[in-house]
Amino acid sequence: MCSMIAADVLVVGLGPAGASAASAAAAKGAHVIAIDRKSQAGVPVQCAELVPHMIAMECAEVDRARRQHIAAMATYVEDALPYVEPQFPGIMIDRAAFDAALVDQAREAGADCRLKHPLRAIDDNGVATLANGSRITSKVLIGADGPHSIVGKAIGSPNTEIAETRQITVPLLQSFDATDIFLSAGIPGGYGWLFPKGSVANLGLGVAPAWRHQLKPLLEDLHDRLAEQGRVGREVLAHTGGAIPVGGMRQLVSNLDGTTVLLAGDAAGLSNPISGAGINTAVISGREAGAAAARIVAGESDAGKDYADEITALFGPSLDRALARRRELMAIYASNRMPLASELQKGWIAFDAYWAA
């Protein structure tokens, strides 16, 4: 017979959201089990590795992963000269080191973190069945299992809109300290990026799923152009990619029989529908979900609603704006037209038009 394990809090996923949740719940005294299907935290990396500067002030783990300072953002719209926003401070991190540091922190706080433990299913009572056949019951289940969250599906709140990405790591021949963004009507539902990380750079591209087949040629073309300009080498040092939720916030709290379910990070649709950035929101929502879970375990039944209210207040307005801008752009393609440069600008955070009413 398969074993049945009981925990106060079960966290599914040990990315930034799950590790932060496990840490916060365990630090407040809950018995926490956290599982991830990966063998090594943060590996493989599926990320361009940029975090906003402010995250370093409240997340000490950034220091273990810090690789390069970012000062500015340069946005290229079609073939025009770049628009440079001089104040765009950020940090390029080693994402694998960052995720590993967050898991170490969760373990230090007392969470039982189990790698190589894939979740197979969540039943209607909130009981988790793992691929190894063991079953885990919990008072609170935190879904931090990324864009294709099984926990989100179990409560009827999956991510329904996704952007697809492809990224290569290339030698960086001319160092710089900006994030370069490439907007073009030929990159529907996404953009290209070149983010410097010391002697290398992450060069990537995202698109709406209907254009997934274009990812490879579009990225090769961008790589060729940058190599011809002498900015990057032709060698490809690593490949990655992955899905980014771009449909906005999901339902954050639900119940499966007696189990309270909270979603955090990408599982909760907290990555930005325009920029795709989601590390900061994953860490913050994970932390808040973990703290709320501990309160629920202690008998505070309102803590789930408080969590949803807090996250909605923090991130709702920026996600709503990004979602609206994304929908405006996608509506242009749906009407069989290509966006003009001014419309691409309205769909990107560096331009005033993006922030206008």
Ligand X SMILES: Cc1cc2nc3c(=O)[nH]c(=O)nc-3n(C[C@H](O)[C@H](O)[C@H](O)COP(=O)(O)OP(=O)(O)OC[C@H]3O[C@@H](n4cnc5c(N)ncnc54)[C@H](O)[C@@H]3O)c2cc1C
Binding site for ligand X (CB under 6 A): 12-18, 35-38, 46-51, 118-119, 144-146, 150, 165, 167, 204, 241-242, 244, 265-267, 271, 276-280, 282
Nearest to ligand X of 81, 94 (CB atom)? 94
3 state DSSP class of 298: coil
Nearest to ligand X of 152, 339 (CB atom)? 152
Distance CA 110, CA 241 (A): 33
In 3D space, the residue among 117, 107, 101, 95 whose CA is nearest the CA of residue 23 turns out to be 107
Nearest to ligand X of 56, 353 (CB atom)? 56
Structure tokens at 334: 């749906």
Distance CA 204, CA 189 (A): 14
Supply the minimum distance, in Å, between the C-beta of residue 71 and ligand X. Answer: 16
Supply the minimum distance, in Å, between the C-beta of residue 352 and ligand X. Answer: 23
Nearest to ligand X of 67, 341 (CB atom)? 67
Place of tokens 């408080």: 306
Distance CA 307, CA 317 (A): 16
In 3D space, the residue among 258, 28, 19 whose CA is nearest the CA of residue 127 turns out to be 258
Nearest to ligand X of 169, 259 (CB atom)? 169
Nearest to ligand X of 207, 267 (CB atom)? 267
In 3D space, the residue among 139, 59, 129 whose CA is nearest the CA of residue 304 turns out to be 139
Supply the minimum distance, in Å, between the C-beta of residue 307 and ligand X. Answer: 15
Supply the minimum distance, in Å, between the C-beta of residue 154 and ligand X. Answer: 11
Distance CA 21, CA 204 (A): 29
Distance CA 259, CA 257 (A): 6
Nearest to ligand X of 188, 343 (CB atom)? 188
Q: What is the DSSP letter of 19?
A: H
Supply the minimum distance, in Å, between the C-beta of residue 179 and ligand X. Answer: 9
Structure tokens at 232: 């990057």
In 3D space, the residue among 3, 43, 83, 64 whose CA is nearest the CA of residue 240 turns out to be 43
Distance of CA 74 to the CA centre of its chain: 22
Supply the minimum distance, in Å, between the C-beta of residue 92 and ligand X. Answer: 8
Nearest to ligand X of 244, 296 (CB atom)? 244
Nearest to ligand X of 212, 343 (CB atom)? 212
Nearest to ligand X of 58, 302 (CB atom)? 58
Query: Where do the DSSP E strands lie in the chain?
Result: 4-12, 32-35, 50-52, 66-70, 72-77, 83-85, 90-93, 112-114, 119-122, 128-130, 135-143, 162-171, 178-183, 192-197, 200-207, 238-245, 253-256, 259-263
Supply the minimum distance, in Å, between the C-beta of residue 343 and ligand X. Answer: 24
Structure tokens at 92: 């390029």
Supply the minimum distance, in Å, between the C-beta of residue 115 and ligand X. Answer: 9
In 3D space, the residue among 220, 176, 181 whose CA is nearest the CA of residue 199 turns out to be 176
Supply the minimum distance, in Å, between the C-beta of residue 357 and ligand X. Answer: 26
Supply the minimum distance, in Å, between the C-beta of residue 263 and ligand X. Answer: 9
